[in-house]
Amino acid sequence: MVLSLTGLALAGCVSLEKPAPDAETQSVEVVAIAPFGNGVFVDGGAERPEPVKDLPEGYGYIGDLGEDEALDSGLAGCRMYADLALEPSECSDVYVCQPVGESGGEWAYVKYVRLLYGGARI
Distance separating alpha carbons of residues 54 and 108, to the nearest angstrom: 8
Give per-residue pLDDT as tens, 77-108: 999 999 999 998 899 999 999 988 877 788 99
Q: For the chain, what are the domain ranges?
A: 32-119
Contacts of 117 (CB under 8 A, 6+ apart): none
Q: Which residue has the higher pLDDT, 59 or 37?
A: 59
Which residue in 2, 3, 83 sits closest to 35, CA to CA? 83
